[in-house]
Amino acid sequence: MRWGMSFGSPRPGRGPSSSMVMRPPTVAIPLMRALLDSLQGAGLAGAAGLRPFLPALVAGLCASADLGLDFDDTDFAFLEAPWFLALLAVLAIAALVVQLRGMVPGVRVQSALSGVGVGLGALLFAGSLDDRFATWWPGIVGGIVAALIAGAAARALLARTSARLDAQTATTLPLYAEGAAIVLAGGAILLPPLGLVGVLGLGYLYLQGRRREGEKYAGLRILK
């Protein structure tokens, strides 16, 4: 069922979701669904912040199969359109080839992917809300925030890890990032609370990394 601005009445023209049992509207049901959709959207946006294309592809494939979410009859129906899914697959392969072969400096590629991830994260969060609710614009804001957190954590973590590895091994790090992004996206779709856990975990890793860098620089200043 699609709920309106007050989360109390269905939007005209959209029937009940197949996963819901028709019953008199209550406050608890739409609020709980809004919470779950928000957690799901946060996880999808965070996954897109890590690596943009494969999480969006996973979300689109799940939506086309009505598994956990559905973009049909929403303003974001293109997210599960075959042409869009094919485009995501091509871009994901191209990004991996560029990074694995070192054709472009990794910092530039990661920054570009993070920027794309912010955009896709905002769309995925908004689409998750628009699945059942008429008011989807908070998903744009939430998606941007979640993707920025995940992107910052990914860049910092990859930079620290690659510094400890030889050049050949460091080039494989994007594969691990893709895997983590897919796991976060799938977890958020199947079990929405995992989405928030994942984003908060990435935020924690980022803050911990910044704290350690601050301690290291403070120690160097003391030695000087």
Give residue limits of the domains in the chain.
Answer: 28-211
pLDDT reported for residue 164: 81
Cβ–Cβ under 8 Å, residues 92 and 53: yes
Cβ–Cβ under 8 Å, residues 99 and 93: no
Using only C-alpha atoms, the chain has a radius of gyration, in whole angstroms, of 19
pLDDT reported for residue 27: 54
Mean pLDDT over each residue of the chain, to the nearest integer? 83
Sign of the alpha-carbon torsion through 47, 48, 51, 53: positive
Q: What is the pTM of this model?
A: 0.81
Between the two ends of the chain, the Cα-to-Cα distance in Å is 65
Instruction: Pick 64 or 11 by higher pLDDT.
Output: 64
pLDDT at 50 over 70: yes
The residues near 26 (Cβ < 8 Å, ≥ 6 apart) are none
